[in-house]
Each structure stands twice: as structure tokens, then as C-alpha cells.
Chains A and B, each alone.
Chain A
Amino acid sequence: MNRFNVKRIPASWDGAALRRFSRSTAAMLLCVVVAGYLALGVASSGSFFEGPSVRVFLQYLATPILIGLAQMVALCVGQLNLAVGALGGFTACLMGVLMADHGVPAGLAVIVGLLTATAIGLVTGLVIVATQINGFIVTLATMTILLGAQYRLTGTRTVDGYSPTLRDLGTAAPLNIPLVFVTALAAAALLAAFMYRTVAGRRLLAAGGNPLAARLSGISTDRQIVAAHTLSGLLIGVAAVTATASLPGVNRSVGGDWLLPSFAAPIIGGVALTGGSIAVFGTVLAAFVTRLIDAARAQFSLDPSWVNLLIGLVVLGTVAGGRLHQTRLGKTGGTAAPPAEGGKQPPAVLPQPGGAR
């Protein structure tokens, strides 16, 4: 690493990027994913490396990735979205009912679903901005409303008589890579490009990183909040489409267990809850990790409750470990780094944790 320090002009962008990556959460997660996958393969005496297992593994990875990304977009402007599962479930049921009961062609139903999810995200954002009510409460309310709406659409039945075309697409796996997984990766790539490359994406991040500064630079934080919820809605819509396509049928329980995974992926992936940071790659990898836990559970035929327990513990461990690591860095770093940084540390740390020491 010292190699890069020697250069007089520090604009060795690749070097700096590489150095940052090697220290990053993503690198660590990558190791965990590879090691976990190998371990599972060995434990299953190789059957886990075979075609069908890989396909099933990736098939059910699409939704966790997409809902994690949806939550990440909300987190990056300092908001959160409790309605991830409810909106996803509602959209999936809407599409199912449209296709099965009203004979709407699959393509049209998917478009309607995506538009509806986006529109609901937009409305959520508008309500938050217009009423200035805490986003937590607003999304709690939309979650409740959407759960009711989802129940109203399907009642207690399971809607399964819908388009075989969509089904086929949902289970199709050219080169043994499921189409839905490719969709999720494409969404992640597009989102990364949007966040890193476009002006609109940078505005979102700026508003999350320092709302006051963003406002003084002419970026409307209100608009960014609306934009983030809209984008979050769109991603949930995509998640709902992949879920509808790959599930045997949709009912009122779709989306019911999306809430924790949606938070787990970005948090494990290294996204701060305070806003201003994103980690698309990290979120995707974290979704991998949670899926690995699920796969391991199936492999050893354990009680499904283990998944919840383990994911809960992993999230706790990640945030606690990360924070402790950070404070230790801050304390030891203070002696070596320029004093201003060390001096800035205490006030920055003080307010959030309640000054708890």
C-alpha cells in the first residue's frame, strides 16, 4: 500500500480506489460469501456446486437484492421505508389479480404494477414532505394501508392462475443463471450508475450527506426525499415482478417477511442510517450472505426460525462491531492524525448515542 504514498501526485485514482476497497466492507463481505459458499459446498459433499442447486440459490436471491436496494435508496437521504414488504406484496397481488381475474396480458400487468409501485412511492414522499411528519410514521401508515389493500385484493385465497409466459420467464435460466437474478443484477448496476454517474443521483447523496449544505447549494432536500421514495417504490415494483414471476402463486403473505432482509442487506453492506452513503455492491453481497444462511438452513434441514435468529444476530454483530471499530479508530487515530480531526470527533459522536460512554 505504501507504493501509492510515495508518488508525489496523489491523483493515482486507481491506487487510492484499490486501497479503499481492500479496507472496505465489500471486500470483507466478498471473502465471507466465497468462504461460506465453499464451506456449504464441502458440507454438502459437492452437491451444492451442481447446476440445479446453483440455479435455485440464485433464483431466490433476486428479491433480497432488490428490496435491499430499495431500502438503501431510502436510507441514502436519511429516510427509511417500513412499507417495503407491504408495497411489494400489494403490487404482486395487484399484478396477479389483474392477470388471473381480469385477463390482462402479462406485459401490461407488469407495466401497471411497476407504475403503481412507483406512484405509491411518489405519494409517500409527497406526504412526508407536505406534512413534515417523520418518515417513519408515514411509512408505518402506508404499510398499514397497503396491508389492508393487499388483503382486500386477494382475501385468503392464493392467486395462481396467471400468465404462463411470465412464469416461464421467471423460471427461465439460460446458461443456468436465472433470468430474475440477471434482472436484479441489472437493476443494481443501473442503480450504481445512477448514483455515481448522474447529476440526479449525486443530488440524492448530497442531500443525505449534509442537508443544510445541499440546500444552500441549491439542491432541494424536499425534492430529493420525494425522489428517493419514488425510486424506492420503483425498485420494490421490480422486486414484486420477480417475486410474482418466480413464485408458484401470490397471496396475502407475499412481502410479509421482507422487512428485516430489506434493512439487513444495506446495513450489513455498510450503509449508514444517517444518510449520505450508499454501497450497491456491499448491499448485493450482503443479500448473498443472508441467502447463504437460508441455503445452509435448508441444507442441514433446520427449523426455519434459525434464519431469523441468525440474521438478527448478524445484523447486531455488524453494527455493534462496526461502531466499536470506528470509535477505537477515532481514539487511536486522534493522536497521530492532524488534531482537527481528533478534535472534531467528540461532538460528532456525542449527540446520536446519547453521549453514552
Chain B
Amino acid sequence: MSTVLLECHDLVKVFPGVRALDGVGLRLTSGTVHALLGENGAGKSTLIKVLTGVHSPDGGGLTWCGEPVHLRSPLEATRTGIGVVHQERNLIPGFSVAENITLQKPPSHRGLVDREAMTAPALACLAELGVDLDPHQPVRELSVAQQQLVETAKALYTESRVLLLDEPTASLSPQETERLFEVIRRLAARGACVVFVSHKLEEVFAVCDTVTVLRDGKSVLEAAPLADHTHDDIVGLMVGRAHAATEMRPRTVDRTATPTLVLDKVSTAGGHRDISLEVRPGEIVGLYGLVGAGRSELVKAVLGLDRITGGEVRVHGRPARISSPRQALHKFGIGYVTENRKEEGVFLEQPIVRNITVTVWKRLARALGFVSAREERDVAQDHVERLGIRVAGLGQNAGELSGGNQQKVSLAKWLAADTRLLVIDEPTVGVDVRTKHAFHELIWDLARDGLPILLISSDLAEMVTLADRIVVMTDHHVRGEVDNDRDYDRMSGRVIRLIHDRADSSADSADAKAVSG
């Protein structure tokens, strides 16, 4: 018999400048695998944080098995029976695998940690996931995929009745993913409810029974059986029909032009081997891969932040040795819109005007390095208008803007600098649907004006919408390249095949790693 474990209604959570949750309902029933879907910025992460006691809601309430509950801390949520695997890696680097797995409820005896008693349950959790790891190894020595598995094992250990998995497959190979699905089904069969959050609809349809869809902080579909809906229905609900179809203006690429950027069998100290790709004027080249595939690291190596150990980089037809992002900008005109907007993209506590003009001060500076505040404002104002950034004033701090507008600010500084090659890394993570669309049009139009663009994304739909060619990268190697014919199903099939080809060989090497570790 299935019972309703956790239910919430009319949840509201407000952050300055944004209503992250604006009336969300959710009903989690025992014995089911529940999909929680929504575009980036729809409020999934916030909902998970409310359900696990990280945030307290500003409105609405939760009930647990019919009784109202207030989750004031993650600990209370755990005690109630709600476990979670967060998107960010949440392990203590210096602790052993076993200690991380048992962190929430360390086996102890009168306040003393019992290390022996820790090993057995940790090994049991790892075995359930089919992972072979030394429980005494410190987690800082593990690979990204291994860490993600430890993270999942951690959630298994608490034996939660509701288990939330936030993008648990982002860095897993297909085999590892399949094993995880088996575990999920087993947990559900035992009467738990597993909430599965993923961008990959194929996976959702493979493992889930019921579904809740969020859009703009509201639940547009609540605890409905997944079997009643098709792939397209769900996408329509997530995106909102109004935005589903906009036509881009036609754009053509001159395939005979000299490539602006050429990587010729480039290897890096970060582990990339024989990477070759080229980007021509007016072309959008997509660099597709999962988290941890080494895409951003490749770009950073090209910008001089990591050592290039082999091969050649050519910019504007000439061999280039770039030693720093500063040189990349001033000498070669390369701009890099980073994926970590908050950490590397914008200066949150600095005014917008400085955020935009940081790249052009060198140009504006006169004698003694004097920069005229008026010229500075003019430059910033131009780009605020051009990109349609919604601001209260140029003196406003960038941290007060919404995610999408911050992302535009992060892009604006490169446009202000008149870059001749733009690398855009995950441009639409964490921005709402409308902004995402505006972004796509903007990137498209920049390319139409002749700007070469290298687009990094793990959102295949975005790739299919924008890119002319898609270069597939896994595990620091380029696996192949496909010409985009703008048909999502056909393209995803081809891209996934390229990734799968690699999977077999890497599974072997993963085993080898475990042995040597």
C-alpha cells in the first residue's frame, strides 16, 4: 500500500530581486520514483533546499505523513527521513571514504568515533552501487565520478524514506548510470520515494513513475503519472508554449575562410590529449560534453592559465603562445565568458559600470592612467542598452541583478572590448527561460555579424539550436565531430553514440584505477 510521505503546498521562497518559489505544490508517495523537472532557474534547486531544511520557506507549508513539519536545519530533515544528494560535491576532502559516507550519523560509542564499525556499512553502501573503493582512502584522491558515487553512497547510508537526487548522473558513464537506476528501483520497491532531478529526459522516462514540472517558480504539473505524458508534452510544459518556437534569422558560414582559432593536436598539463578543432569567422562551434569532461579546462589552458605541453594553437592564422588572459585579450582579442558566473564572471559587490568597463580601461586611459568617469559610463550605458540589461542604475552592484542579467553583464564586458573571438561557457545555466531565449538570439546575431564563437554547453538542445558543428568531448579527449542539421532526435542519437563508444574503454580504465588505488 502506498502512502503519501511528504507533501507541500503553495510554497513561497523569496530572495532579493527574485521570487524563486512562487506557489509550488509537491506530493511524494512511497514506492515511487518521482521526477522533478524544470528548466534552469525554474526553482528546482531552491525547492530541494527548502525540502532539506537549508532554506525555510516564506510561505506555504510541509506535511510529513500527514503531520505538519517545520524543517529548520538539514539535520532535522535527515532525522525526519529526507536524504539528498546535492548537485555540488559535498564531501570533506581530508576525510576517508567511509567517514564521508557515515558523516551524518557516524557510528559512535559514548562520543568516540568507531572507525571499525564505519567500514562495514560504508562497504555495504558502496557494494550496493557496485563500486569498488578503498573505504580508508581520503576522498581528495578520488576522481570526479568516484566522488559523485561516494556522494550517492552517503545518501544510501542514512536510509531515508524520501531520497532526493539532484543531477546524480552528470558525471557518470552509461554503465554507472544504469547501475544507479537499479539501485533507485530497488529503493522504491522497498517503500521509499526517490526524487530524481535531471535534465536528461531519456533518463527520466527510463526510471520515473510520476512527475512534477516547475516553471518560473510555480508547479505547472503536480505529481502526475509520467505514463500519461509524452516527451514533447513535458518539454512544452517546462519551456512554456509561448516560447517554444521562435525562428532565428538565416545565417551562413563561409567554410573557406581562414579559421580564427585553430587547435592542432593540443595536449595540456591538465590531461588533454591531441585536441584538434577550428573556429571560423561567423561560425558557432559547439563543444559538447558532460561535467568533468575537461572543456572549460581546455579553454583555460588556451588562455594561458594551464601549461600546453604539445601541439599548436593558431590565432588569426599565426601560431600563438598565450601566457595570460590579459595577453589573450589585448594581443589576440579573445574573450571568455566563464561558466562560473559568480566566482569568475562578475564582481558581485562592484557597480555594473566597473563590471562592464574592466576590459576597456586600458583603451580609455589617458595621461597618468586617468580614466574619465563620463566616458566609462557612456561605454557601459551603450552595452546595457544593446543587451537589454535591466538595471536600476549603472552604480548598482552587480550582485543585486538577477542571474540572467548578471550573465549579460558578464558578456557585455567582452563585447565592450571588441573581441575578435568569443568563447562562451554554459551561457544559460541558472537563467530563466525568457532570458535563455534572448541569449540564444544574441549569440546567433553576434555570429551573424561575423564573430567566431566557441560555445561550450552540456545542454544538447542548446547545441542543436545554435551550433553549426558539434565537437564531442569526454574524458579530456575529442571523440568526434558532427555537422548540425538542427534535428534534435537525430543529433542526440549521433552525439550519444560518440559518447558511448568511449564508455566501454573508460569502464576498463576505471576498474584499473580502483585496483591501483
Contacts and interface: CB of A to CB of B under 8 A. Distances in A.
A343 B271 contact: yes
A200 B136 CA distance: 20
Contacts of B269: 331, 334-335, 342
**Chain B interface main SS type:** loop
B292 interface: yes
Contacts of B74: 215-218
Q: Which of A199, A218, A344 has the most chain B CB atoms inside 10 A of its CB?
A: A218
B232 interface: no
Given A209-B92, A346-B270, A220 B305 contact: no
Nearest to B143: A340
B305 to A, nearest CB: 6
Contacts of A331: 269, 307
B8 interface: no
B86 interface: yes
Interface in A310-350: 331, 334-335, 337-347, 350
A216 B88 CA distance: 11
A350 B92 contact: no
A198 interface: yes
Contacts of A163: none
Contacts of A214: 92
A334 B270 contact: yes
Contacts of A8: 515
A343 B108 CA distance: 36
Given A199-B106, A199-B112, A338 B143 contact: yes
Interface stretch (A9-17, A27-35, A231-239): A9-17
Interface in A208-229: 209-210, 212-220
B230 interface: no
A213 B91 contact: yes
B93 interface: yes
A343 B94 contact: no
A206 to B, nearest CB: 5
B250 interface: no
A10 B270 contact: no
Contact of A343 (B84, B104, B294): B294
A174 interface: no
A205 B99 CA distance: 12
Nearest to A206: B92
Interface residues of B, number: 56
Contacts of A13: 136
Contacts of B141: 341
A10 B137 CA distance: 9
B88 A212 contact: yes
A214 to B, nearest CB: 7
B215 interface: no
Nearest to A207: B92
Interface in B84-115: 84, 86, 88-95, 99, 103-104, 106, 108, 111-113
A202 B96 CA distance: 12
Given A216-B90, A339-B271, A343-B297, A199 B517 contact: no
A82 to B, nearest CB: 25
A354 to B, nearest CB: 13
A282 interface: no
B198 interface: no
A16 B95 contact: no
Contacts of B143: 338, 340-341
B136 A343 contact: no
Given A217-B103, A338-B143, A340-B292, A276 B136 contact: no
Q: Which of A209, A217, A335, A344 has the most chain B CB atoms inside 10 A of its CB?
A: A217
Contacts of A345: 270, 306
Given A16-B136, A216-B52, A338-B143, A206 B103 contact: yes
Nearest to B93: A209
A60 B113 CA distance: 34
A346 B297 contact: yes
A217 B104 contact: yes
Nearest to B53: A218
Contacts of B106: 199, 202
B283 interface: no
B436 interface: no
Contacts of A276: 92-94
A277 interface: yes
Contacts of B104: 217-218
A23 interface: no
B73 interface: yes
A331 B517 CA distance: 20
B271 A351 contact: no
A3 interface: no
Nearest to B513: A338
A5 interface: yes
B75 interface: yes
Contact of B84 (A212, A216, A334): A216
Interface in B113-130: 113, 119
Contacts of B108: 199
B134 interface: yes
A199 B114 CA distance: 9
Contacts of A200: 111
B516 interface: yes
B297 to A, nearest CB: 5
Interface in A268-288: 276-277
A197 interface: yes
B93 A210 contact: yes
Contacts of B475: 339
A343 B88 CA distance: 16
Contact of A346 (B75, B94, B306, B515): B306
Interface in A2-59: 5, 8, 10-11, 13, 16
Contacts of A199: 106, 108, 111-113
Given A16-B136, A357-B324, A277 B94 contact: yes
Interface in B321-354: 324, 340, 343-344
Contacts of B344: 350
B341 to A, nearest CB: 14
A11 B476 contact: no
A198 B114 CA distance: 9
Given A342-B269, A343-B294, A212 B90 contact: yes
B112 A197 contact: yes
Contacts of B136: 10-11, 13, 16
B99 A202 contact: yes
Interface of A: 5, 8, 10-11, 13, 16, 196-200, 202, 205-206, 209-210, 212-220, 276-277, 331, 334-335, 337-347, 350-351, 355, 357
Given A335-B271, A339-B294, 15 more contacts: A8-B515, A11-B134, A199-B111, A202-B95, A202-B99, A202-B113, A206-B95, A209-B92, A209-B94, A210-B90, A277-B94, A339-B476, A340-B143, A346-B270, A351-B343
CB-based closest 8 A-B pairs: A218-B75, A339-B271, A213-B90, A340-B143, A209-B92, A340-B144, A339-B476, A10-B134
29 contacts: A5-B516, A8-B515, A10-B134, A11-B135, A11-B136, A198-B111, A199-B106, A202-B95, A205-B95, A206-B92, A209-B93, A210-B90, A210-B92, A217-B104, A218-B76, A218-B104, A219-B103, A220-B73, A220-B75, A276-B94, A277-B94, A334-B271, A337-B271, A339-B294, A341-B143, A343-B271, A343-B292, A344-B144, A345-B306
